[in-house]
Chains A and B, each alone.
Chain A
Amino acid sequence: GENVEQHPSTLSVQEGDSAVIKCTYSDSASNYFPWYKQELGKGPQLIIDIRSNVGEKKDQRIAVTLNKTAKHFSLHITETQPEDSAVYFCAAGGSTLGRLYFGRGTQLTVWP
């Protein structure tokens, strides 16, 4: 099955700086790569996703890049704010209907 690795496990940045979280996957058949933000005690919330037919997608301060050849994708958050502090999960899927494989998560802390 698919194996998703996520780094770093923790990330601390100063407000206004950028944050980058990286993931790799193993199954070349995966074609859907979402990123979720999870706040304490809540369910994951989809913040951005990318499909294998594009290399980059941007939504305001958030962007995701995908390198299918190298099997890695990254989340970029610019101009970070304290409210961006949360756990972020990457996932890969598409090879099995509806099934997503998750990374281990990154605890992002943005200091004011």
Chain B
Amino acid sequence: GAVVSQHPSWVICKSGTSVKIECRSLDFQATTMFWYRQFPKQSLMLMATSNEGSKATYEQGVEKDKFLINHASLTLSTLTVTSAHPEDSSFYICSAGREWGTGELFFGEGSRLTVL
């Protein structure tokens, strides 16, 4: 199956700093990637849709200035949590699809962010 890689798998940072998470599609090109946030024992919450070469589309209630998304190439999307605070601590997961119109998505391994 298709492989989507996330980096880092976990990160600890101080409050007020910014953290960047990378999402790469390793064996296919993805014009669109998705970023999710997952709290313990809960489902995946879609944060934004990352579009290659254009601005991301954010879900209602997600602060676009807080969660900066850049999709500079067909294989890489980045999520930057700016001025992180303890409430931003969460599990962040990205996904990408190989063939649009089929809906099939492959997920990265996730990135655990802990803000002290």
Contacts and interface: CB of A to CB of B under 8 A. Distances in A.
Interface of A: 31-32, 34, 36, 41-46, 49, 51, 89, 93-94, 97-100, 102-105, 107
Contacts of B6: 43
Contacts of B41: 105, 107
B43 A99 contact: no
B63 to A, nearest CB: 20
B43 A98 contact: no
A42 B108 CA distance: 8
Contacts, number: 61
Interface string B1-25: 1001010000000000000000000
Contacts of B61: none
B68 to A, nearest CB: 21
A45 B3 CA distance: 10
Max chain B Cβ within 10 angstroms of own Cβ: one of A89, A105, A107: A105
B107 A98 contact: no
B115 to A, nearest CB: 18
Contact of A98 (B1, B4, B42, B49): B49
